[in-house]
């Protein structure tokens, strides 16, 4: 027999018949719902903890992304500066090479002038005045040649320094390219890891909705159970009141002592008179509330026979 919920809702103040098994089933359903809600709440709290950890990881990854972006921008800026410096050094190198070629050409002209002056000295050796003049010109040409040679050496030294600087800048540019590629790979890997975390976060609203639905069902079941228990308590109170009235109306039962007789119970097996009366747990006469009333049976103290 199921609980007549429709009748109870129509007449909540009236008394209704409810079996004990229905109440036990309702209590079991209530306990089951409470256990389900507790499990779902536990799973939800675990999911919230996981989502909170994932969100902190996402925040850390976003912060790392921001740092990587700044590092990538700095590396790109350094790379651009290095490229500009390399172009400037190449231009300076080209200018120094042109200057070196001009100095070499001038050196060749001075060497020719020196050879010409030496030839003239040989031709004009009888003429002391011309010899001194030519020697002076020769000395001047030698000084000019030495100065040009020194300038040529300094230019060669500067060209070597510029080439070394260009090599260092090219090495830095290569290292910056490698760091930039590594940063881009790390960003791609982090983006791939964000997908499962976002999926886990999207499941939280569905779990919360399920918990809210089960909580609503549990509240409804609790309300119905409380109503049924209240009706049962009212019925038990009415039953106890009626039983008390019936006991008041029952006539007194005369005992054998009232008639001057002594009645003794005899065991049908051994004919002994040592008999005790106990409750027969196999025979339920009625219930007072939740307490059963059992029938009585006789037990022989001598042979143990029950009758």
Q: Which domains does the chain have, with CATH numbers?
A: 16-238 (1.10.287.2610), 261-307 (no CATH)
- Phi-psi bin for 304: left (phi > 0), alpha (psi -120 to 50), beta? left
Please state, in angstroms and rounded to a whole number, the distance separating the CA atoms of residues 157 and 208: 77
Residues 6+ apart with CB under 8 A from 185: none
What are the helix (H) ranges across 250-273?
A: none
The values of phi and psi at residue 263, to 5°, are -100, 130
User: What is the residue whose two structure tokens read 């790392």?
Assistant: 64
Distance of CA 214 to the CA centre of its chain: 26
List, for residues 62-83, the tens digit of each pLDDT value.
777 777 778 778 778 877 887 7
Q: Which pLDDT score, from 0 to 100, does residue 276 have?
A: 93
Where residue 111 falls among pLDDT bands split at 50, 70, 90?
low
- Identify the residue with better confidence: 301 or 228: 301
**Rounded to the nearest 5 degrees, what angle is found at the Cα of 187, between the Cα atoms of 186 and 190?**
85
Please tell me what DSSP assigns to residue 256.
T
CB count within 10 Å of CB 51 equals 17
**The pLDDT of residue 158:** 78
Structure tokens at 88: 């400037």
The SS3 of residue 260 is coil
Model's pTM, two decimal places?
0.32
Give pLDDT tens digits for 269-283. Answer: 999 999 999 999 888
Structure tokens at 70: 């700044």
């Amino acid at each position: 027999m199921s609980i007549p919920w429709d009748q109870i809702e129509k007449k909540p103040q009236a008394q209704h018949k409810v079996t004990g098994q229905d109440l036990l089933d309702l209590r079991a359903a209530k306990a089951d719902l409470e256990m389900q809600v507790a499990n779902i709440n536990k799973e939800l709290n675990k999911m919230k903890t996981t989502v909170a950890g994932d969100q902190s990881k996402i925040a850390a990854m976003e912060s790392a992304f921001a740092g990587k972006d700044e590092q990538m921008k700095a590396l790109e800026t350094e790379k651009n500066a290095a490229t500009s410096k390399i172009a400037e050094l190449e231009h300076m190198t080209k200018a120094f090479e042109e200057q070196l070629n001009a100095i070499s050409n001038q050196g060749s002209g001075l060497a020719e002038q020196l050879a010409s002056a030496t030839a003239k000295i040989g031709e004009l050796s009888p003429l002391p005045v011309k010899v001194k003049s030519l020697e002076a010109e020769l000395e001047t040409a030698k000084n000019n040649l030495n100065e040009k040679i020194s300038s040529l050496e300094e230019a060669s030294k500067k060209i070597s320094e510029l080439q070394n600087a260009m090599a260092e800048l090219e090495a830095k540019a290569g290292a910056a390219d490698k760091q930039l590629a590594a940063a881009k790979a790390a960003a791609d890997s982090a983006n791939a890891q964000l997908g499962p975390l976002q999926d886990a976060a999207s499941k939280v609203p569905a779990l919360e909705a399920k918990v809210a639905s089960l909580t609503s069902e549990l509240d409804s079941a609790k309300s119905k159970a409380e109503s049924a228990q209240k009706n049962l308590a009212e019925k038990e109170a009415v039953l106890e009141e009626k039983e008390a009235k019936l006991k008041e109306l029952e006539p007194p039962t005369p005992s054998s002592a009232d008639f001057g007789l002594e009645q003794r119970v005899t065991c049908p097996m051994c004919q002994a008179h040592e008999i005790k009366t106990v409750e027969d747990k196999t025979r339920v006469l009625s219930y007072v509330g939740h307490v059963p009333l059992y029938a009585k049976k006789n037990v022989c103290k001598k042979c143990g026979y029950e009758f």
